[in-house]
């Protein structure tokens, strides 16, 4: 199960994991309305290393990315949910539009993103320049938070 880290705490932990020779995997996203596709992607990501960092978009970042009606689940509640997942070791939040600055500071050994973002993976250049791997992972067919929200709204009278 994961633990929440401030950015400063995460960077200190990353330094310790590096000293200990632990392979660190990093992924990010909104993780609003957690669904089986999220769980399977996180499990795949975790299998690629010894520590999985999940960086969540802040509520403001989600609104800029997804629109004024999102997120549906608040930042503190999203943090609580993902910290309870077995595959996740570390959780942090970023307020920027992309996690590029955070990724450049953490410099994970492996950067993972869903294949729907293969065309643009923030932090790719920094991770590859440091000798790390960047991997787009296949998504679980039929699962999308946006799709779930649209189905819910379509059912309203």
CA 68 to chain centre: 21
Name the domain count of the chain: 1
- Render pLDDT for 82-136 as a digit per residue (tens, 0 to 9): 999 999 999 999 999 999 999 999 999 999 998 777 788 999 999 999 999 999 9
Q: What is the pTM of this model?
A: 0.92
pLDDT score, position 141 = 74
Task: For tokens 């959780």, name the residue.
Answer: 91
CATH of the domain at 70: 3.40.50.620
- Domain with 134, as residue range(s), is 3-154
Within 13 Å and on the Cβ side, how many CA atoms surround 144?
10
| Overall size of the chain counted in residues | 157
**Cβ 72 vs Cβ 32: under 8 Å:** yes
Task: Read off the pLDDT of residues 75-89 as tens digits, 9 standing for 90 and up.
Answer: 999 999 999 999 999
pLDDT given for residue 8 in this prediction: 98
């Amino acid at each position: 199960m994961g633990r929440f880290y401030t950015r400063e705490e995460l960077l200190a932990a990353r330094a310790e994991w590096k000293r200990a020779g632990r392979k660190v995997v990093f992924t990010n996203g909104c993780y609003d309305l957690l669904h089986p596709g999220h769980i399977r992607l996180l499990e795949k990501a975790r299998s690629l290393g010894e520590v999985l960092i999940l960086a969540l978009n802040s509520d403001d970042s989600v609104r800029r990315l997804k629109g004024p009606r999102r997120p549906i689940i608040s930042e503190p509640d999203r943090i609580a949910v993902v910290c309870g997942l077995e595959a996740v070791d570390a959780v942090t939040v970023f307020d920027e539009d992309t996690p590029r600055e955070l990724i450049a500071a953490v410099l994970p050994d492996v950067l993972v993103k869903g294949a729907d973002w293969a065309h643009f993976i923030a932090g790719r250049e920094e991770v590859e320049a440091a000798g790390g791997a960047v991997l787009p992972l296949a998504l679980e067919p039929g699962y999308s938070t946006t799709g779930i929200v649209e189905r819910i709204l379509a059912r309203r009278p």
